[in-house]
Structure 1
Amino acid sequence: MLAALDLDFLRIRAIALNGFREAIRDRVLYFIAFYALLLALATATLRYLSGGAHEKILLDFGVGAMALLSAAIAIYVGTGLINKEIERQTVLMLLPKPLSRAEFAIGKHVGLTAVLAVAVAAMTVLYFAFLGLSGTSFPLGPLLLSSLFLLLELAIVVAIALVFGAFTTSLIAMLLSFGVYVMGHFSSDIVEFGKIANTREAIFFTRLLYLILPDLERFNLRNDAVYGILPPVPELCQSVLYGGFYIVIVLAIATFAFSRRQF
């Protein structure tokens, strides 16, 4: 299949490395430092403000802040990856070479996903360190798995950000990506809303939205992981397959959108 698409892994790797270095320079490390600051403030103040429930609040706060900050990285950097190449006109030097637009989009996605893997790993280490310093007990395995599923969720968000960044401005792409991110966590509720409305049009529209939008909530293991609870293995495997399939489809759309742009 890859041969049919004429994909070259060396060219994809070169684009990914370039995207990785560019994203690291794009103030990504400041997000990690900000996360450390938030954890330090929470560790120092929650003990005195939470009435004895500071350990549970710190567990929830840490995973929640990690998810929000890493999503901000994915949207902020992902929507600008292709647009910056176009604005700087560096894309004009890349595309005339034996580099397909599919390789360009895939390389950008791999590069930013690698940046997010570094960011999530760093924030997870910081999270465990502050939990240990505060004397808070935590389920190591479930929380590690929740971080891995967070990375899969972010890979989907990056693909979506690349789609919007391929055919519109960075600001509009950020707003659209954020909207899809929020709606993706409430896609199941959207279907229920259609059932409550109880009209044929509402049911059809909400089900269509559910099919189009990513079901990001299936990757949210954080709420149960803090209690040491995880879904069954078959359900986890289904989520991984769903995430991989959705990324492939969205990257195909991103490639098509990028191919329609004139330079």
Structure 2
Amino acid sequence: MNFNRLRVVANNVFAETIRDRILYVWGLFAIIIVFIIPVIREVASTVEDKILLDVGLGLMEILGVAVTVFISTGLINKEIDQRTIYLLIAKPLNISELIVGKFLGVSAVLSILVVGMMGLYLGILTLNQTSYPSLTALMISALFLILKLSLITAAAILFGVFTRSLVALFLTFGIYFIGNLSADMVKLNALVETPLFSRLSQVLFIIVPDLSRLDVKNLAVYGMNSLPGAVTLTANAGYGIVYTIALLALATIILAQREF
């Protein structure tokens, strides 16, 4: 795998995504937060700070996932539909470099998107004189959101190599929703003694990534003391990275077997 070729593919995806005005999501994020502050203040004045923290971090994830899915699911299909994949593969560029390069380009955009939203978020909190327990905890939450979005990007690319863009879009959203609930389904399985549900929950837990391991936003609003220890955080981050690599490897294998 050649680093220079990876960089070229990643830069092209990055430039194209920026050109599509994806980063205008920053503006949407800021507008929603600014408009929602008076509402929160009106209906929940006693717990305003806590709710605003929850809403801000939750909105970051919702917008991040939406951007991730709509960008990533069509990355490969667009090359196939426009017949440009023939030119790419004809060049000294192998399929793994194409997959990884596109993944890195999208991940760079998502990282900038999350960092920008977090910067706006902290600025609005400061102007609103909203207290938050720990800046470090919020930064860790942002980092884990980037890891989660990167994993979802890899899943979207995987679905995009063997399905149409619309199908890949629904499958990726499905992975996101089920992945956030898979751990809860296993816990529910212990309470519901139904063989079918038991088998289904076990299969989903094995196949679908456990995205709850990359979700620390609900704990971050309470400060560093509420977050898991360094060992657990590192293990969860490693889980996300390994799963992402596995999805990209599978996407590479499937695309290599396709006939264009």
- TM category (shorter chain) comes to over 0.9
Q: Which of 226, 231, 246 pairs up with 2:228?
A: 231
Once structures 1 and 2 are overlaid, which stretch shifts more, 117-126 or 52-61? 52-61
- Checking the alignment, whether the CA contact within 8 Å between 1:26 and 1:77 is kept in structure 2 is no
Q: Which of 113, 120, 127 pairs up with 1:119?
A: 113
CA deviation after TM superposition for structure 1 residue 179, in Å: 0.5
Which ranges of 4 or more aligned residues in structure 1 deviate by more than 6 Å?
A: none
Shift in alpha-carbon separation, 1:101–1:44, aligned structure 2, 3 A: same
Q: With structure 2 as the length reference, what TM-score do the two structures score?
A: 0.94
Q: State whether structure 2 residue 53 is matched by structure 1 residue 59.
A: yes
CA deviation after TM superposition for structure 1 residue 170, in Å: 1.1
- Quote the residue 2:73 is aligned against: 79
CA deviation after TM superposition for structure 1 residue 200, in Å: 4.7
CA deviation after TM superposition for structure 1 residue 213, in Å: 0.6
Once structures 1 and 2 are overlaid, which stretch shifts more, 202-211 or 146-155? 202-211
- Percent same amino acid at aligned positions? 40
Letter in 1 for 2:126: G
Q: Which of 221, 243, 246 pairs up with 2:243?
A: 246
Q: State whether structure 2 residue 152 is matched by structure 1 residue 157.
A: yes
CA RMSD of aligned residues (A): 1.4
Q: Which of 136, 143, 150 pairs up with 1:141?
A: 136
- Quote the residue 1:96 is aligned against: 90
CA deviation after TM superposition for structure 1 residue 46, in Å: 2.2
For 1:230-261, what per-residue CA distance to the aligned partner results, in whole angstroms no more than 9, with x for missing partners? 11111001111111110111001111222233
Once structures 1 and 2 are overlaid, which stretch shifts more, 35-44 or 245-254? 35-44
CA deviation after TM superposition for structure 1 residue 99, in Å: 0.8
Q: State whether structure 2 residue 203 is matched by structure 1 residue 208.
A: yes
Counterparts of 1:126 and 1:58, CA distance in 2: 13
Shift in alpha-carbon separation, 1:44–1:247, aligned structure 2, 3 A: same
Q: Which of 250, 254, 259 pairs up with 2:256?
A: 259
Structure 2, unpaired ranges of 5+: none
Counterparts of 1:205 and 1:41, CA distance in 2: 42
Structure 1, unpaired ranges of 5+: 1-6
CA deviation after TM superposition for structure 1 residue 77, in Å: 0.3
Question: What count of residue pairs does the alignment treat as equivalent?
Answer: 257
For 1:27-85, what per-residue CA distance to the aligned partner results, in whole angstroms no more than 9, with x for missing partners? 31222211111111122432223233222111110000001100111111010111112
Letter in 1 for 2:253: F
For 1:133-178, what per-residue CA distance to the aligned partner results, in whole angstroms no more than 9, with x for missing partners? 1001112110011000110011100000001111111111111000
